[in-house]
Amino acid sequence: MKLSVLKDELDKAIQHVSKAISNRTSIPILHGIKIDASASGLQLTASDTEISIQSFIAAEKGDVRSVELERPGSIVLPAKFFSEMVRKLPSEKVEIEVNDSFLANIRSGTIEVQLMGLDPEEFPLLPQIDANAVISVPSELLKSMIRKTVFAVSTNESTPVLTGVLWNVEDGKIRFTACDRHRLARAESNYDADADERFNNIVVSGKTLGELQKILPDQNTLVDIVVSDNQILFRQNSLLFYARLLEGTYPDVSKLIPQTFQTELVLETKLFTDAIDRAFLLSREEKTNIVRMAMREDMTVEISSSSSEIGRVTEQLTAREMVGERLKISFNSKYMLDALRVMDSESVHIGFTGPMQPIIIKPLGANDTLQLVLPYRTTH
Amino acid sequence: MKLSVLKDELDKAIQHVSKAISNRTSIPILHGIKIDASASGLQLTASDTEISIQSFIAAEKGDVRSVELERPGSIVLPAKFFSEMVRKLPSEKVEIEVNDSFLANIRSGTIEVQLMGLDPEEFPLLPQIDANAVISVPSELLKSMIRKTVFAVSTNESTPVLTGVLWNVEDGKIRFTACDRHRLARAESNYDADADERFNNIVVSGKTLGELQKILPDQNTLVDIVVSDNQILFRQNSLLFYARLLEGTYPDVSKLIPQTFQTELVLETKLFTDAIDRAFLLSREEKTNIVRMAMREDMTVEISSSSSEIGRVTEQLTAREMVGERLKISFNSKYMLDALRVMDSESVHIGFTGPMQPIIIKPLGANDTLQLVLPYRTTH
């Protein structure tokens, strides 16, 4: 293998694939980035076996020649060191030459780096994904749906399927659901369906979606999503992101969501979020995060919490609307904050079916987001 | 105690004094901020017994009335909670009322917070500092001198005096020295001396100076410095920062500094720093941080380092000047990087008196900064 590549392109590709490298693995080859050089360009791959990321540097893109190939080949280079060194090279171009014993010679200006590589044959193979189902989704939409649900996945590994986000894609509709038994988050959206692609009840790890969210670009481009037996692939331009699907059957959590309400409130999102945030400060001192909410006939809502060590906070909010029975209800302020912080609307609609029934939070006048928080059983 | 205070002023004062609060202390009162309300204003104090910080909110400043006092008094409030709550209050004003059992009632808009305080009588007294010696130094100069020396203090607590920075103030000249036995950093400056104030051989903890650096404002104002028997006080407008001086006699480290050189180099600061930075990447894999430097007759300097696991980096720099015997020398790349990163000049002058003698780095054409790095004994 012998080639020269534009430093900025190489740096960008390294940063992308590095997200797949785990510090926890003890398998040396997984601390490396695989580089495959061919006439068409440079393919970089990294993997922690759960997630694999590939980034491709095309030899030519329009008028720009990013890679000059002299001799094709492959090598695995130590990711951390290779990444930091490339970022710190001063020249525009980097030359890489690999000999038969996997010793890489990297030159840039008067700088010469000799790097001991590993045999690319030992690098894990990427999953083969047949295009059973492909959908294309704008990256912004995908990121927003991840943001609105991923915080609610379970962190308890004893039920692995709940550590993921449930995907349902059908009839031009995508629905994400996350539930940790104490709260539920759901995001829905339409997308341009070309054919009757569908994949129902697949579960993608919350950690994986967190990484994907970081790597997807901020500008709005289309992301192709391909699902095969036990793998999902996200493809965005020259970037490929593979992840293993979680095994197991996701429980039917939709029955948790009440369809009618005894009490309905409309509150200004910012005022309510700030009030819960202040109550959270005290409630977290007790570890339980309990906050109390009491509705009054005069349309005010009292939010309060207390800590035996520190004291008590109480405040009044005026509801924009209040319909039905006035309730006193207690809940986990942290969960309520998480739910409120993904609301993009000016006001939120909150529905109750009794002091021991799930609380439903939605943006006012929209159905694309639904958050559910279970109340606490407390004595008021 | 009963008063109302502008929220932003209170918030700023809390942020200032909070820097003195240590998480490590198990003495409850030290997790608190003491508030003293009098007709002239509000005094906030926090202390971890090593460092104490006071911030004063004047009742009146020009046309602005920051504090409205109804009843003077004192209270100690839990710092972490009080600080976060005040920051999250929405109103412009905060009312504080304290009853006889140290229960504070804090009101802001419709928000009411009851906070259990502690008896201010139990709060440690601040040191009494007689103005034995006072000097006034611009805050920017003080921050710059701290930045140029503080990284070189020892982290080894077995010789406590070396964990501090040695101050010598005499005849309108300030000199800071830090030395951890492997390297030495010195910064010097003139200041406008009114009288013959002087304090020689006092030692201020590196940690203290790090905190002071963070709290001093970015705009250039004068800082008064007062030294008493075993205390130093920094005073900047309404802010008072007290610290205990380190005990013990600082060793005479000036004799480490060679006065004449066998070899002298002038290198571009950025080029040299970047080269050492790249060599550091490899050297740190071996924990020793060893980098080799070899001078050649043709005015080039070769910088190299290697790691048995990863490989080797070599690069050539062209010196602007090279006088005297060509040397091969090895040193700790981390220490050299630290020294180079505080050089503000475009070029640096590096002086050598042999492969086993201290290396002296100075900004070219200036004497305000001197960095010394001891070489390693290696086989080239």
CA distance A87 to chain B (A): 10
Q: Minimal CA–CA distance to B106: which of B84, B126, B86?
A: B86
Which residue among B81, B88, B278 sits closest to A85, beta carbon to beta carbon? B278
What is each CA distance from A209 to A212, A213, A216, B193, in whole angstroms?
5, 6, 10, 62
Residues of A in contact with B309 (CB under 8 A): 116
CA distance B376 to chain A (A): 23
Structure tokens at B244: 């205990």
Q: Read off the pLDDT band of A194 (50, 70, 90).
A: low
Taking the C-alpha atoms of residue A206 and residue A333, their distance in angstroms, rounded to an integer, is: 22
Give tens-digit pLDDT for A222-247.
999 999 888 999 999 899 999 999 99
Please report, as a single letter, which amino acid is at residue A99: N
**B311 contacts A116? CB cut-off 8 A:** yes
Residues of A in contact with B337 (CB under 8 A): none
**B112 contacts A310? CB cut-off 8 A:** no
Taking the C-alpha atoms of residue A315 and residue A279, their distance in angstroms, rounded to an integer, is: 9
> Which chain B residues touch A if contact means CB-CB below 8 Å?
78, 81, 84-85, 88-90, 103-104, 109-116, 274-275, 277-278, 281-282, 285, 309-317
Residue found by looking up tokens 């080799």 in the block: B292
Give tens-digit pLDDT for A252-286.
999 999 999 999 999 999 999 999 999 999 998 88
Which residue among B89, B110, B317 sits closest to A316, beta carbon to beta carbon? B110
Which residue among B275, B310, B315 sits closest to A112, beta carbon to beta carbon? B315
Give tens-digit pLDDT for B35-89.
999 999 999 999 998 999 999 999 999 899 999 999 999 999 999 999 999 999 9
Give tens-digit pLDDT for A44-71.
999 998 999 999 999 999 899 999 999 9
**B274 contacts A311? CB cut-off 8 A:** no
- State yes or no: pLDDT of A127 exceeds 90: no
Taking the C-alpha atoms of residue B71 and residue B127, their distance in angstroms, rounded to an integer, is: 27
Give the pLDDT confidence score for residue B196 in this predicted structure: 64
Residues of B in contact with A81 (CB under 8 A): 281-282, 285, 310
Which among B77, B102, B113 is the top mutation candidate for probing chain A, defined by the most A β-carbons within 10 Å of its own β-carbon?
B113
Give the pLDDT confidence score for residue B17 in this predicted structure: 96
**Could you give the percent of chain B with pLDDT greater than 90?**
84
**A277 contacts B113? CB cut-off 8 A:** no
**CB-CB contact of B57 with B25 (8 Å):** no
B356 SS3 class: coil
Span of A5-14, A92-101, A281-290, B141-150 with lowest mean pLDDT: A281-290
Size of interface A-B (CB pairs under 8 A): 82
For residue A87, give the H/E element and its range: helix A79-87
> Which chain A residues touch B if contact means CB-CB below 8 Å?
78, 81, 84-85, 88-90, 103-104, 109-116, 274-275, 277-278, 281-282, 285, 309-317
Please list, in sequence order, all residues whose beta carbon lies within 8 angstroms of the beta carbon of residue A301, skipping any fewer than 6 positions away. A265, A267, A293, A294, A295, A316, A317, A318, A319, A322
- State yes or no: pLDDT of A132 exceeds 80: no
- State yes or no: pLDDT of A24 exceeds 90: no
For residue A169, give the H/E element and its range: strand A164-170
Which among A313, A318, A333, A337 is the top mutation candidate for probing chain B, defined by the most B β-carbons within 10 Å of its own β-carbon?
A313
Residues of B in contact with A111 (CB under 8 A): 275, 278, 313-315
User: Would you give the distance in Å from CA B214 to the centre of its chain?
Assistant: 7
Please list, in sequence order, all residues whose beta carbon lies within 8 angstroms of the beta carbon of residue A188, skipping any fewer than 6 positions away. A173, A174, A175, A176, A367, A368, A369, A370
Which residue among A90, A115, A282 sits closest to B274, beta carbon to beta carbon? A90
Give tens-digit pLDDT for B183-211.
999 999 988 766 567 788 999 999 999 99
Q: Read off the pLDDT band of A193 (50, 70, 90).
A: low
Span of A198-212, A314-328, B32-46 with lowest mean pLDDT: A198-212
Q: What ipTM is given for this predicted complex?
A: 0.86
Residues of A in contact with B280 (CB under 8 A): none
**A315 contacts B116? CB cut-off 8 A:** no
User: Would you give the distance in Å from CA A101 to the centre of its chain?
Assistant: 40
**B274 contacts A313? CB cut-off 8 A:** no
**CB-CB contact of A37 with A72 (8 Å):** yes
Residues of B in contact with A84 (CB under 8 A): 281
| Average per-residue pLDDT for chain A | 93
Total number of residues shown for chain B: 380
pLDDT tens track of chain B, all 380 residues?
999 999 999 999 999 999 999 888 889 999 999 999 999 999 999 999 899 999 999 999 989 999 999 999 999 999 999 999 999 999 899 999 999 999 999 999 999 999 999 999 999 998 888 776 788 899 999 999 999 999 999 999 999 999 999 999 988 899 999 999 999 999 999 887 665 677 889 999 999 999 999 999 878 899 999 998 889 999 998 999 999 999 999 999 999 999 999 999 999 999 999 999 999 999 988 888 999 999 999 999 999 999 988 999 999 999 999 999 999 999 999 999 999 999 999 999 999 999 999 999 999 999 999 999 999 986 54
Residues of B in contact with A103 (CB under 8 A): 311
User: Would you give the distance in Å from CA B269 to the centre of its chain?
Assistant: 24
Residues of B in contact with A315 (CB under 8 A): 109-112
CA distance A374 to chain B (A): 26
Give the pLDDT confidence score for residue A200 in this predicted structure: 85
Q: Minimal CA–CA distance to B304: which of B242, B377, B380?
A: B380
**B310 contacts A88? CB cut-off 8 A:** no
